[in-house]
C-alpha cells in the first residue's frame, strides 16, 4: 500500500499537477491540505475518473482537507470532537477515513502566526484536540496514521537555518512538545529518506530562490502507530512535484507499506 500527503496550496490552481501526479505515483491513499475551496467546488469528478473515491472538508477560501482513496473510503469523520474555534468558527482542518483497513487522518495544523498571537494559542489548543482524537481512535491492532501539514519542524535539523527561526513559530518548545505527546501516545514520525540533499525538506518559500537553494523546512509529516511503522518499506519526499511553474510550495511525502 502507498500512502501520501500533500499540501497543494489550492486544489483549483494545482488540479492539473495533482491529476498528473496521481497517474504517475499511483498512491492508494492521498491526503490533501490547503484546498482553498468549499466542498461544492472540489473537483471530485476529475479525480474520480482516475479511480479514486473522494471525501473533502472545505468551507471556502482558506484551509480545507481531503482524502482520496482507491482502496475504499469508509467511516468518514469531518473534524475532531471538541475541536477549538478561531474567530468563532471551527475551521475545516481535519478529515478522518478508513481506507483499505488503514485509519488515516488528513490534518492541516494551524500556522500559529507568531508566539503570543491568539492564533498561536489556537494552534496549541487544536493540537490538544488532535491528541484526544489519537487517544480515542488508535487501536494497536489497526493500522493508524495522521498525515499532513503539521506546521511544526520536529528538530532544529528540520529547518535550513535554525538561527533564522529564533523568534518564530514552527520550532518553539510548546509546539514540539505537542509532537512529543503524540509520540507518548504511541505514534512515531515516519522519517523520509533524502533523495538528493542531506535533509528531506517538504516546504520551500516561493521567494528568494528558496527551492533551488534548498532553503526549506520539514513540516509535512506522517505520524503512525506500530502497525504502520513495522510495515514501512520506503518513505521519501517527491521533490520533482515541487519543480516548475505553477507548483505548490510543498512537495508530497510518500510512504510505502507491506499491507
Give me the active site residues, please.
Answer: 108, 149, 250
User: Does residue 149 have a known ligand-binding role?
Assistant: yes
Residue 214 assigned ligand-binding role: no
Is 63 among the annotated ligand-binding positions? no
Q: Is 34 annotated as a binding-site member?
A: yes
Give the relative orientation of helices 118-137 and 173-184 as an angle to the nearest 10 degrees. 0
Q: Which of 133, 215, 220, 149 is nearest to 181 (CA)?
A: 133
Dihedral (Cα; 204, 89, 56, 254), 10-degree rounding: 30
Ligand-binding annotation for 170, yes or no, is no
- Residue 31 bridge partners (DSSP): 5, 67
Q: What is the dihedral of CA 74, 23, 210, 197, to 10 degrees?
A: 90
Contact 60, 101 (CB under 8 A): no
**Separation between Cα atoms, residue 259 and residue 256, nearest integer Å:** 9
Q: Is 4 helix (H, G, I), strand (E, B) or coil?
A: strand
Q: Is 225 annotated as a binding residue?
A: no
As annotated, the binding site for Mg(2+) includes: 7, 34, 149, 151, 249-250
Binding residues: 7, 34, 149, 151, 249-250
Amino acid at each position: 500500500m502507498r500512502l501520501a500527503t500533500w499540501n497543494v496550496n489550492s486544489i483549483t490552481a494545482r488540479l492539473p499537477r495533482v491529476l498528473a501526479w496521481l497517474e504517475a505515483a499511483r498512491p492508494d491513499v492521498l491526503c490533501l491540505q490547503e484546498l482553498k475551496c468549499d466542498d461544492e467546488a472540489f473537483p471530485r469528478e476529475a479525480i474520480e475518473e482516475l479511480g479514486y473515491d473522494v471525501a473533502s472538508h472545505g468551507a471556502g477560501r482558506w484551509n480545507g482537507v481531503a482524502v482520496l482513496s482507491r482502496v475504499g473510503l469508509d467511516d468518514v469523520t469531518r473534524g475532531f470532537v471538541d475541536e477549538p474555534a478561531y474567530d468563532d468558527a471551527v475551521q475545516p482542518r481535519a478529515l478522518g477515513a478508513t481506507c483499505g483497513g488503514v485509519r488515516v487522518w488528513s490534518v492541516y495544523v494551524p500556522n500559529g502566526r507568531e508566539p503570543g498571537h491568539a492564533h498561536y494559542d489556537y494552534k496549541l489548543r487544536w493540537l490538544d484536540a488532535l491528541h484526544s482524537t489519537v487517544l480515542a481512535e488508535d487501536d494497536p491492532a489497526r493500522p493508524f496514521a495522521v498525515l499532513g501539514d503539521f506546521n511544526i519542524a520536529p528538530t532544529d535539523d528540520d529547518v535550513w537555518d535554525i538561527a533564522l527561526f529564533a523568534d518564530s513559530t514552527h520550532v518553539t518548545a510548546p509546539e514540539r512538545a505537542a509532537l512529543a505527546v503524540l509520540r507518548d501516545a504511541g505514534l512515531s514520525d515516519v522519517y523520509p529518506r533524502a533523495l538528493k540533499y542531506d535533509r528531506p525538506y517538504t516546504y520551500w518559500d516561493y521567494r528568494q530562490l528558496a527551492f533551488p537553494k534548498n532553503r526549506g523546512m520539514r513540516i509535512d509529516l506522517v505520524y503512525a502507530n506500530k502497525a504502520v511503522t513495522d510495515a514501512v518499506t520506503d518513505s521519501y519526499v517527491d521533490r520533482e512535484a515541487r519543480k516548475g511553474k505553477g507548483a505548490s510550495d510543498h512537495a508530497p511525502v510518500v510512504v510505502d507499506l507491506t499491507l
